[in-house]
């Protein structure tokens, strides 16, 4: 099998660990390309898998770098939480052996297209994996966002902004804003307000085959659209931000013995009973 090795070159430990494990990979696969800059065009590289070293941020960068030609990713966790990157460096040789023998499952995850429509014209489009966030900016006034689902007005959210998240992104910004955790294989979106100026707005989960539009009548000068943590553009009055399911799927190789609830339990510190230390 042919593989691409990717990672975030800004972290010395990532580059060092990838260099250490490169002979292990070379014993089991042909290395088609290596890139730690995040800038190499991978669209013409013929490979079966991408091995990504780092954390979930490195995986996001790799997914963006691959663009419309997504390869299955084998994610080696060198970060902190690592909801997606759940294979440890010590597991890599065994996992590669099983992968070469087609004994591992590749799970498909929802991706989306985010399109900015201004004056009736689509001026920018970006492929994403985690979430789209429309957020207020300087001078940080309350932002009104009209939500339309399949062209039907749902409601107007008033607050710091609005997040439309995939199940993969449900453990990222959306979770911090009070959104629910979705099983990563689900085909659904979470609509989660950011600091809503009301007690009646709650996160909503809806099907991925619908079209979601966020309309911003009066943005502040610093309000922006953010896709997977990267600013896509600042907002102008009347802008429409459309979020729709992409044909592309994010493909993730599942390591042996790594289950969904085990990952949540370990990464979120679900420890069972509350332990209260005794007074001394």
Catalytic residues: 56
The order of strands in the sheet holding 230-234 is: 204-207, 188-194, 161-165, 131-135, 224-227, 230-234
Residues in CB range of 97: below 8 A, 6 or more apart: 28
**Which residue, 73, 220, 87, is CA-closest to 160?**
220
Q: How far is 73 from 63, CA to CA, in rounded Å? A: 9
**Which residue, 115, 66, 129, is CA-closest to 232?**
115
How many CB atoms are located within 10 Å of the residue 257 CB?
A: 8
Instruction: Specify burial of residue 176 (Cβ count, 10 A radius: 0-12, 13-18, 19+).
Output: exposed
């Amino acid at each position: 099998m042919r593989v691409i090795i990717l990672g975030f070159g800004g972290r010395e430990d990532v580059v060092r660990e990838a260099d250490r494990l490169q002979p292990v990979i070379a014993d089991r696969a042909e290395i088609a390309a290596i890139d730690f800059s995040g800038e190499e065009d991978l669209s013409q590289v013929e490979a079966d898998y991408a091995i990504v070293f780092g954390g979930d941020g490195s995986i996001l960068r790799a997914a963006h770098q691959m663009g419309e030609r997504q390869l299955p990713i084998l994610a080696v966790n060198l970060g902190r939480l690592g909801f997606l990157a759940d294979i440890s460096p010590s597991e890599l040789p065994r996992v590669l052996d099983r992968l070469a023998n087609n004994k591992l499952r590749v799970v498909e995850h929802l991706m989306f297209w985010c399109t900015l429509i201004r004056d009736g014209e689509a001026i920018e489009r970006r492929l994403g994996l985690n979430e789209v966030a429309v957020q207020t900016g300087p001078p940080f006034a309350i932002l009104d966002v009209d939500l339309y689902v399949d062209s039907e007005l749902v409601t107007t959210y008033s607050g710091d902004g609005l997040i439309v998240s995939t199940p993969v992104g449900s453990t990222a910004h959306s979770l911090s804003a009070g959104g629910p955790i979705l099983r990563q294989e689900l085909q659904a979106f979470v609509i989660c307000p950011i600091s809503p100026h009301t007690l009646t707005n709650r996160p909503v989960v809806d099907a991925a085959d619908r079209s979601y539009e966020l309309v911003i009548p009066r943005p502040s000068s610093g309000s922006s659209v953010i896709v997977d943590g990267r600013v896509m553009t600042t907002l102008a009055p009347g802008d429409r931000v459309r979020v729709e399911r992409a044909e592309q799927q994010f493909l993730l190789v599942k390591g042996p013995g790594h289950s969904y609830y085990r990952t949540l339990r370990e990464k979120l510190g679900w420890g069972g009973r509350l332990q209260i230390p005794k007074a001394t």
